[in-house]
Amino acid sequence: MSFEIKKNKESVIICATGSGWELTPQQSEKIIYALNDYVNIEKYGLKPDVLFIMDVLDEKPQIVSSITNLGEIVMRINKMKVPLIAPFKYEEIPLSEAFPIEECVKVFGMPYFTNTICYMIAYALLKGAKEIELYGVNQAGSHEYTEERGGVEYWLGVANGLGVKITIHGKDSQLIKYKGRYGNNILYGYLQSFEDIMIAKQKFGGMVIRKLLAPQPPMSRVVRKIN
């Protein structure tokens, strides 16, 4: 006996195609946004509520090069019977919708979209999301890390500023992680992770008070002075 899960429209799951996507719950009361290749989602047992393909379909490299058949893709999308968010509404896809780009820029003021994930986050915010979970959104590949990650983190920052709860699933995600000089998500200045700072606060009953010391000379200088 099948039954329909009542959806909480204020909670959104964004499911991409990076490692960790398989952690996405197959059934959820949250609205599930799926990305691009999830046009083949049926074989994985996960049915999204909204599909996003922000590449113009007949301009996608796989279709232009005839690796993928356009008619077959259109048929699969229509068979899913869920809204498709795209740059334009397509005559061949009745449930397709043009992304509300003008409204989005009017509300948020910055047309900064580096990939489809950015549009998905912005769309969720326009729809009044109070919670966003990300699965398979790693931004770890070379072009993703250097060219696209900034846009995704920008929109996560917009969401966070609006009080939206953000949860990033999957050990391979590089989002909101500092991988610079210190690595391991160490906070600049503190030289500790946020978790370590909170553990120290709990241990000492408050934030640690640091005693400043006069700079110490390198050992080589001390040795030469003694000699």
Q: Model confidence over 82-121: pLDDT tens digits?
A: 999 999 999 999 999 999 999 999 999 888 998 899 999 9
What's the mean pLDDT in 37-54? 73
Of the chain, the percentage scoring pLDDT greater than 70 comes to: 81
Residue 201: per-residue pLDDT: 87
Residue 183: per-residue pLDDT: 55
Instruction: Write out the DSSP string of the chain.
Output: ---PPPPEEEEEEEE-SSTTGGGS-SS-SEEEEEEGGGGGGGGGT---SEEE--S-GGG-HHHHTTSS-HHHHHHHHHHHTS-EEESS--TT-TTEEE--HHHHHHHH-----SSHHHHHHHHHHHTT-SEEEEES----SHHIIIIIHHHHHHHHHHHHHTT-EEEE-STT--TT---SSS-TTPPTTT-S-HHHHHHHHHHHTSPPPPPP-PPPPPHHHHHHHH-
187 — pLDDT class (breaks 50, 70, 90): confident
Residue 186: per-residue pLDDT: 72
Domain boundaries, the chain: 8-168, 178-212
41 — pLDDT class (breaks 50, 70, 90): low
CATH of 8-168, one of 3.40.50, 3.40.630, 1.20.1440, 2.60.40: 3.40.50
Give every strand in the sheet of 165-168, ordered side by side.
Answer: 96-98, 84-86, 50-52, 30-35, 8-15, 131-135, 165-168
Residue 101: per-residue pLDDT: 94
- Residue 138 vs residue 93, higher pLDDT: 93
Residue 150: per-residue pLDDT: 86
Residue 7: per-residue pLDDT: 82
- Residue 108 vs residue 138, higher pLDDT: 108
Is the per-residue pLDDT at 144 higher than 50?
Answer: yes
